[in-house]
Structure 1
Amino acid sequence: MNIIKAINISKSFNNPVPTPVIANISLEIESGTLSAIIGKSGCGKSTLLYILSTLDTRYFGDLYIGGTLMNGKTDEYLSAFRNENIGFVFQSQFLLNDLNVLRNISLPLYKKGGIEWQDADYKAIEMLKRVKLEGHYKKKVTELSGGQQQRVAIARSIVCSPQIVFADEPTGNLDTQNTKIIFDLFREIASELNKTVVVVTHDSDFAGVCDRIIAMEDGKIIHKS
């Protein structure tokens, strides 16, 4: 079953004249799969990811997620939709330095509503076990390494049980060992939790073990497998 369907997606930036960034992209992504979007810097892969995740709504074309057309939806609708269905992992983790590891993960779940802090913290501990950081739950995020911080960000991205996890260059600042750890986690999230994971990456080794590879060049898809 296709959970994401994009039809003729195009986007241009005005600087000051319109400059195409992505052009007439159509693709389908099946539920429960791990997909990599690859290509050189500036090819439009991150722009495509932000559109697919509904974080960028200024585009032409049609985007369906779970069979629902995302075009024309209000910001309030899209925000609520993301809270329920989408997790996002950025290259820079955007963790809250004033909070400990546990509360960085449980906060989105608590703010979503319908749950007490104690239960949100319990769910956060379960997510920390999955990323093998349960022993660090009391630490401030500033006490963790870059690789550990990214694992916290991944735990945060799945704590609300989204259908889809998007990741934009999640290992861009990490060494080889931590890169492998992160990509192994994404593989587990897709295969064991049956989540759809879509990752923008320069790492060809990771792309090679994904269910799908979407290769881009000059704003267009040049290969899909």
Structure 2
Amino acid sequence: MSNIVLEGQNLHRSFDDGRNKVDVLRGIQLQVHRGEFVAVIGASGSGKSTLLHVLGGLDSPTEGQVFLNGQRFDHLDETTRGNLRNQHLGFVYQFHHLLPEFTALENVAMPLMLRADSQFKQVKLKAEKLLEQVGLSHRMDHKPGELSGGERQRVALARALVTDPDLVLADEPTGNLDVDTAKGIFDLLRDLQKQRNMAMLIVTHDQSLAHSADRILQMRDGVWDTL
């Protein structure tokens, strides 16, 4: 079995509004290995978030290929791509994207409940265990509006991990938090990543967080830049 979890080959992504064409990604090459923690840094508008969306199958490249565990990923239909995402990838965003009408426990359980073979009792137990791991055993029945920003992000992290993903893609996961809370979330993310030997690809503006990574990549105008 290959040690490469995610690979992007010659990735281009252009946007055309009919008058102007903007080349956001311009020939990106990337490999993320099992258990590796990679940080992507760069100025706003350099293409970091677009790259994450393309790699995670939330967007398609204009040119190039994406491979997930050795399988071509980018050209699949949306349903198949969605099923593979649910099995192998976890996502954490700057804004938690929790469903406001559901409790923390229900939000965490949601990715597993979307599976056809899910058993509610087992899913509930797994979601409870994860919320305990992120320090929220006392907040399981609270809805997002009743939680602090740091607590909401911990719920989002538990939701990303509930499917036991091979790789977590995180887009500025601490960017909406104060310094101390951000460090707590990041340390938790790093600890869980090591415990589970999963890969993690994180986009961040925070240099101190990036320097905890195994590897740092810098983007400038849609290409890799030397650090």
**TM-score, normalised by the number of residues in structure 2:** 0.95
**Helix, strand or coil at the partner of 2:83:** helix
Q: Distance between the aligned counterparts of 1:214 and 1:64, measured in 2?
A: 19
Deviation (angstroms), 1:119: 1.6
Which runs of 5 or more residues in structure 2 are unaligned? Answer: none
Identity in percent: 37
The answer on whether the counterparts of 2:100 and 2:144 sit within 8 Å (CA) in structure 1 is: yes
Q: Distance between the aligned counterparts of 1:135 and 1:223, measured in 2?
A: 45
**TM-score, normalised by the number of residues in structure 1:** 0.95
Q: Distance between the aligned counterparts of 2:119 and 2:11, measured in 1?
A: 41
The answer on whether the counterparts of 2:12 and 2:61 sit within 8 Å (CA) in structure 1 is: no
- Aligned partner of 1:7 in structure 2 is 9
The answer on whether the counterparts of 2:61 and 2:74 sit within 8 Å (CA) in structure 1 is: no
**Helix, strand or coil at the partner of 2:226:** strand
**Helix, strand or coil at the partner of 2:188:** helix
Q: Distance between the aligned counterparts of 2:6 and 2:84, measured in 1?
A: 14
Alignment of 1:53-202 (within 5 A): 53-202=56-205
CA RMSD of aligned residues (A): 1.2
Q: Distance between the aligned counterparts of 1:110 and 1:127, measured in 2?
A: 15
**Helix, strand or coil at the partner of 2:43:** coil
- Which residue identity lines up with residue 179 of structure 1 in the other structure? A
The answer on whether the counterparts of 1:157 and 1:165 sit within 8 Å (CA) in structure 2 is: yes
**Helix, strand or coil at the partner of 1:216:** strand
**Helix, strand or coil at the partner of 1:6:** strand
Q: Distance between the aligned counterparts of 2:6 and 2:74, measured in 1?
A: 13
Deviations 1:136-189 (A, max 9, x none): 111122111011100100000110111111111111110011111111122122
Q: Distance between the aligned counterparts of 1:211 and 1:40, measured in 2?
A: 21
The answer on whether the counterparts of 1:34 and 1:186 sit within 8 Å (CA) in structure 2 is: no
Runs of 4+ that moved beyond 6 A:
none
Deviation (angstroms), 1:116: 2.3
Deviation (angstroms), 1:64: 1.2
Deviations 1:112-132 (A, max 9, x none): 132322221110011111211
The total of aligned residue pairs comes to: 224
Q: Distance between the aligned counterparts of 2:183 and 2:75, measured in 1?
A: 39
